[in-house]
Amino acid sequence: MSSSVQGQSVKRVCDTIHYEFIQNKIIIPVTVNGVTVKYIVDTGGQTGTDWENAQKMGAVGTGASTSISDLNDKRQRYQIAEVRDVWLSPNYQLNKMKTMVLPVIESFRSLGVVGILGGEVFAQSVVTFDAREKIMVINYPYRPDRLKVTDGMEMFGNDSHHPVVNMDFGGVEKKVVFDTGADGFLLMNSSSFEDIETSGKGKKVARAFGINGIGLEGVSHPVEIDKVNVEEMIIAGKKFSNVESLISDRGALIVGIDLLKYGKVVIDYMRNRFYFFPFDVGVTDMRGMSKIWNVGILPINERFEITTVWDSMKDVVSFGDQVIDINGTDITGFPMSQPEIDRVMNAIEGDVAYIVILKDGKKKKVEIRRE
């Protein structure tokens, strides 16, 4: 899908966008055909807008469609529409933008967004992400001052406009997508980890049975999930040690939104260059930085259920147990939304909490831990 910049061939643009950071998502305001809405910035995704808001924007069908995979690798075909007069910032305008027409998605509604902006909308710009200031900076047509092409890494995203770069994992080089739409620091795929494990630079440290999460097409089937430790990861000369990751069977190897905790990222889409400027140039030990709760909870069957059980809890709870309370918060009246549950779980201080499950009509209080 493509977008086109209007009337900026001689005007230099350097716009700063102050973004919201909600549920680990970068959210920015965008004005489309006079309608101001909010989108998630998803560098690893394709632009999509829910059909209700696409109508309000005056979207016109193109007759084309596209097939994409969600986070659970479920494929679905979506119609492509075109909207006009898109302002991503005060001075950066697209005269038209193509967008997938998506169903109304509850998780989007709970975040106050109408969809996602993929990398293609920034294809004719240079975008800087600075998490410390919670800003994005859009430069066009020139790259920022003092930014040298030789300081960057080659990008291989091609027509997808996804920032794909080579990274080193203890001597094993792999192509990785920087995906601001993905939670966490590293999401390893099975084949890549096998190569790293074979080289002696990685090992499995824990196992679970469950569901990865809710994608555009709903929940996946439960599978075995491994947590692994990678001894070393290097990006643009910056070294991370003891990097922990869950294993995904999806095709792409992903570095997620948490990379921005450790440095600024600049993506020069026009020149296919990727820059990472670490806040600390020394080695960062990531051990214990990717702790996750030893149970997962998602909205299933019009209630909240335990949908992931790690080995440390397999004799305590069962897959499918109904959860009615999380650490003192009654969730029985919550909307069926994963972000609502994530918000409660993320707000818990410390690594120990409790949930209340309802089983055979009886309440049971269970301790859970971040591990």
| CATH code of residue 309 | 2.30.42.10
In a domain, 327, yes or no: yes
Percent pLDDT > 90 in the chain is: 76
Alpha-carbon distance of 345 to 347, in angstroms, equals 5
pLDDT at 7: 47
- 46: pLDDT strictly greater than 80: yes
Let me know: does 32 contact 85? Beta carbons within 8 Å: yes
Span 338-361, average pLDDT = 92
| Nearest CA among 225, 221, 215, 260 for reference residue 106 | 215
Span 139-146, average pLDDT = 89
User: Please, is 15 exposed, middle or buried when counting C-beta atoms within 10 Å of its C-beta (0-12, 13-18, 19+)?
Assistant: middle
Alpha-carbon distance of 303 to 321, in angstroms, equals 10
In a domain, 290, yes or no: no
- 100: pLDDT strictly greater than 70: yes
Alpha-carbon distance of 243 to 202, in angstroms, equals 9
Alpha-carbon distance of 113 to 37, in angstroms, equals 7
Phi, psi of 73 (to 5 degrees): 65, 20
Last residue in a domain, options 140, 162, 185? 140
The reply to whether 279 and 336 lie within a common domain is: no
Span 307-323, average pLDDT = 96
pLDDT at 10: 55
Residue 250: DSSP 8-state: S
Taking all residues of the chain, what is their mean pLDDT, rounded to a whole number? 91
361-366 contacts at long range (C-beta below 8 A, 24 or more positions apart) = 363/324, 366/316, 366/317
The reply to whether 176 and 299 lie within a common domain is: no
Q: What amino acid occupies position 143?
A: R
The reply to whether 237 and 315 lie within a common domain is: no
Q: 234 has which bridge partners?
A: 168, 239
Alpha-carbon distance of 213 to 198, in angstroms, equals 29
pLDDT at 146: 85
The reply to whether 273 and 188 lie within a common domain is: yes
> Tokens in use for 217?
């097409």
The reply to whether 35 and 78 lie within a common domain is: yes
CATH number (domain holding residue 231): 2.40.70.10
Last residue in a domain, options 89, 107, 140? 140
- 121: pLDDT strictly greater than 90: yes
Let me know: does 33 contact 58? Beta carbons within 8 Å: yes
In a domain, 277, yes or no: yes
pLDDT at 330: 97
In a domain, 204, yes or no: yes
Alpha-carbon distance of 49 to 113, in angstroms, equals 9
Q: Which domain holds residue 186?
A: 149-259+267-285
pLDDT at 8: 45
Last residue in a domain, options 96, 115, 140? 140
In a domain, 305, yes or no: yes
pLDDT digits (tens, 9 = 90+) for 208-219: 999 876 665 566
The reply to whether 253 and 362 lie within a common domain is: no
> What CA–CA distances, in Å, run from 319 to 60, 208, 210?
44, 11, 7
In this predicted model, which residue has the larger pLDDT, 300 or 128? 128
Alpha-carbon distance of 49 to 53, in angstroms, equals 7
- Mean pLDDT is highest, among 7-11, 103-107, 129-133, 244-248, for 129-133
Alpha-carbon distance of 223 to 72, in angstroms, equals 11
The reply to whether 96 and 116 lie within a common domain is: yes
Rounded to two decimals, the pTM is 0.89
The reply to whether 222 and 98 lie within a common domain is: no
Domain count, the chain: 3
The reply to whether 163 and 82 lie within a common domain is: no
Span 262-284, average pLDDT = 96
pLDDT digits (tens, 9 = 90+) for 291-300: 999 999 999 9
In this predicted model, which residue has the larger pLDDT, 361 or 134? 134
The reply to whether 98 and 193 lie within a common domain is: no
Longest dimension (CA), the chain: 70
Phi, psi of 46 (to 5 degrees): -115, 145
pLDDT digits (tens, 9 = 90+) for 54-77: 999 999 999 988 877 655 556 789
